[in-house]
Amino acid sequence: MNLSFDTTTLREGYLSGKFTVSDIIREVLARIEAGDSKIWICVDTADRLLAQAKEIEEKDPNSLPLYGIPFAVKDNIDVAKLPTTAACPDYRYFADEDATVVAQLRAAGAIPIGKTNLDQFATGLVGVRSPYGIPGNAFDPQYIPGGSSSGSAVSVALGQVSFSLGTDTAGSGRVPACFNNLVGLKPSRGLLSSTGLVPACKSLDCISIFALNAFDAQAALRVAASYDPSDAYSRPNPLSLESPRRAYRDGMTFGVPSPEQLQFFGDENYLNLYLQSIARLEALGFKKQVIDFSPFLAAARLLYEGPWVAERYWAIQDLIKDAPEALHPVTRAIIEKGIDGTAVDAFDATYKLQAFRQETLSLWESVDFLATPTAGTHYTIEQLEADPIQLNSNLGYYTNFMNLLDLSSVAVPTGFTPKKMPFGITLIAPAFHDEKLLSIAHKLQLASELRMGATEHQRFEPVLPAQWDSAPIAVCGAHMSGLPLNHQLTELGATFQRSTSTSPRYRLYALPGTNPPKPGMVRDESNGAAIELELWNLPQSQWAAFISQIPSPLGIGNIELSDGSFVKGFLCEQWATSQAEEVSAHRSWREYLRARS
């Protein structure tokens, strides 16, 4: 089966009946079996995977945003009933529950296939520091795959899965994307929950997403991103879902480092490809501005030269004390240094970092995003093993500052060297501008006209996918999936995004005399409750048609979600509730209907 696993192709096949979820799971397992065994540390059993496929097949493909989409999980992120090793056999344990992000993706219809290889304890940008072997680079196994999320990247590039989860503390979600011709999304810190993640640097860690294209990365992000009160570092997105700051607009200005601040470590091919990429952005209508990159570089040096290495030591302190021989020699050499710092060193570095943050803030008043190389060069395994510490450090030149300065970023493939090895650039913006960067990445991918990953497939749309021309609407009653008026959404091309709830500031009423029965929701600051909602992506061209069907006393207003963000959705005029039965105690229109029946 020579089939692309990008999400659009799979969705079209499911809707047309060309194949089933079970067919795709069997093909996934066949591709994994025929491929490099060092990509995966653990693959779930065929019986369990096919059982999940059968459960999904019983549902409407339109009801789940990631219906039947196979994905891989880096083996420092928990998947229920599978072992988590962080590429250290002595650390191995079986997870009782999915990590929060995995659970959200699974609820949206995606199927976690198994756990992928990595640089041990997510320490490295190279992909060669694992007792489970070195996953071969998708284009040439003599070259490093990039790390630490090596297996996650290679599995997507070879078309074994549609997307994968990695992590990114210092560049682990971007460097492997560059070296395997993928989109690598490093989300804003705290946007994706870290519950169920083995920490590297707990205050900086991000779960990242590898995908064949920017649209697939965006589809996974929209499902996975939500505030998680169980994660002390989780943050609600302060930008509303329909904010124009989340999307592409014409006339954006981008910053590039001054020529003397660029570093390619003698690699003329990467230099030329970077210049071509910048020229392509300008040809697309973006305006270039040279910036001073020095505060970013200074911040980057703090990551491994400062006290943040102590966080890596904290994360595995019992293991490194009791069984230091269990660690890869290079990993151990890096992490052991974390014990040497003092509290004074930590505060000194914190003060320096805050100064760098302040210095970079004014930059964002004149540019919308930065465009840097993702990496300055690409090493062979032989080169890397001859000088593992320094060459790894070189690969972090454009990545190590990102989480320290609280930025969002997307790695985008843009070309190939004469040796047919991939190159890409990274788009950078302040935190919570992830979707804006993805929309820019999409335009750049179209212009670059590259195949997806190491597959033979290309899929280039003449316009932005419909999901980028849509805005979410929150529904709390008869328009929810499976209820009588849901067809008014689906007939206009709306697609389900996710289930959620309001903030605890709303009251729900059963409106009398409505057919079919409808609720009315009003805001009450002092006596409210959290009410169940569904978010649906409605094409912007269809909003007028949808709103015209809404009868009085209902209307569309701003609704506060449980994570503190706001979205357009159904509200009711206060006067209509005077003769209505309050059903807030049920916290859900569905639950009220069940109780009444």
What is the sign, positive or negative, of the torsion defined by CA atoms of 92, 161, 270, 172? negative
DSSP string for 121-182: GG--SSS---TT--PPPSS-TTB---SSSHHHHHHHHTTSSSEEEEE-SSSTTTHHHHHTT-
With vertex at residue 585, the alpha carbon angle to CA 580 and CA 588, rounded to the nearest 5 degrees, is 85
Lookup: tokens for 480: 């929810």
The pLDDT value recorded for residue 469 is: 63
Lookup: tokens for 70: 């196979």
What are residue 445's phi and psi, to 5 degrees? -60, -40
What is the three-state SS of 19-88? Answer: CCHHHHHHHHHHHHHHCCCCCEEEECCHHHHHHHHHHHHCCCHHHCCCCCCEEEEECCECCCCCEECCCC
Lay out the sheet containing 422-430: strands in order across.
Answer: 40-43, 111-116, 70-74, 163-167, 207-211, 183-186, 407-416, 422-430, 369-373, 253-257, 287-291
pLDDT per position as a tens digit, 31-66: 999 999 999 999 999 999 999 999 999 998 877 889
Range 376-388 burial, b when 16+ CB lie within 10 A, else e: bbbbebeebeeeb
Lookup: tokens for 559: 């609704």
The pLDDT value recorded for residue 433 is: 94
With vertex at residue 154, the alpha carbon angle to CA 152 and CA 155, rounded to the nearest 5 degrees, is 65
How far, in Å, CA of 494 to CA of 488, rounded? 9
> Are the C-beta atoms of residues 497 and 65 closer than 8 Å to each other?
yes
> Are the C-beta atoms of residues 568 and 557 closer than 8 Å to each other?
yes
Report residue 7's pLDDT band, with 50, 70 and 90 as the boundaries: very high
What is the sign, positive or negative, of the torsion defined by CA atoms of 426, 431, 434, 435? negative
How far, in Å, CA of 188 to CA of 206, rounded? 8
What is the three-state SS of 288-343? Answer: EEEECCHHHHHHHHHHHHCCCHHHHHHHCHHHHHHCHHHCCHHHHHHHHHHHCCCH
Q: Considering the chain, what percentage of its residues have pLDDT values greater than 90?
A: 77
| DSSP conformation class of 530 | -
E strand or H helix that includes residue 422: strand 422-430
How far, in Å, CA of 265 to CA of 11, rounded? 43
The pLDDT value recorded for residue 298 is: 94
The pLDDT value recorded for residue 251 is: 81
With vertex at residue 137, the alpha carbon angle to CA 136 and CA 140, rounded to the nearest 5 degrees, is 100
Q: Cα torsion for 443, 444, 446, 447, to the nearest 10°? A: 120
Q: Considering the chain, what percentage of its residues have pLDDT values greater than 70?
A: 96
Report residue 230's pLDDT band, with 50, 70 and 90 as the boundaries: very high
Peptide bond into 472 cis (omega under 30): no
Rounded CA Rg of the chain: 24
CA 553 to each of CA 222, 547, 562, 568: distance values in angstroms, whole numbers, following the listed order: 31, 13, 25, 16
Query: Does the pLDDT at position 463 exceed 50?
Result: no
How far, in Å, CA of 314 to CA of 295, rounded? 28
The pLDDT value recorded for residue 160 is: 98
pLDDT per position as a tens digit, 479-538: 999 899 999 998 888 888 888 999 999 999 999 999 999 999 999 998 999 999 999 988
Lookup: tokens for 593: 């209907």
The pLDDT value recorded for residue 246 is: 53
Query: Does the pLDDT at position 245 exceed 60?
Result: no
Query: Does the pLDDT at position 306 exceed 60?
Result: yes
In 3-state terms, what secondary structure has residue 390? helix
Residue 298 has a CB neighbour count (10 Å cut-off) of: 15
How far, in Å, CA of 182 to CA of 210, rounded? 7
Distance of CA 461 to the CA centre of its chain: 22
Average of per-residue pLDDT across 81-104: 97
What are residue 32's phi and psi, to 5 degrees? -65, -45
The pLDDT value recorded for residue 321 is: 83
Q: How many helices (H) and strands (E) does the chain have?
A: 19, 21
| DSSP conformation class of 94 | E
> Are the C-beta atoms of residues 161 and 5 closer than 8 Å to each other?
yes
Peptide bond into 565 cis (omega under 30): no
Report residue 552's pLDDT band, with 50, 70 and 90 as the boundaries: very high
Average of per-residue pLDDT across 323-346: 82
Q: Which residues are catalytic?
A: 74, 148, 172
pLDDT per position as a tens digit, 406-461: 999 999 999 999 999 999 999 999 999 999 999 999 999 989 999 999 999 986 55
pLDDT per position as a tens digit, 143-199: 999 999 999 999 999 999 999 999 999 999 999 999 999 999 999 999 999 999 999
Average of per-residue pLDDT across 266-271: 98
Query: Hey, what amino acid is at 332?
Result: R
Domains belonging to the chain, first-starting first, are 7-229+249-448 (3.90.1300.10), 466-596 (3.10.490.10)
Strands (E), 316-421: 369-373, 407-416
pLDDT per position as a tens digit, 567-588: 999 999 999 999 999 999 999 9
How do strand 287-291 and strand 253-257 relate by DSSP bridges? parallel
> Are the C-beta atoms of residues 492 and 538 closer than 8 Å to each other?
yes
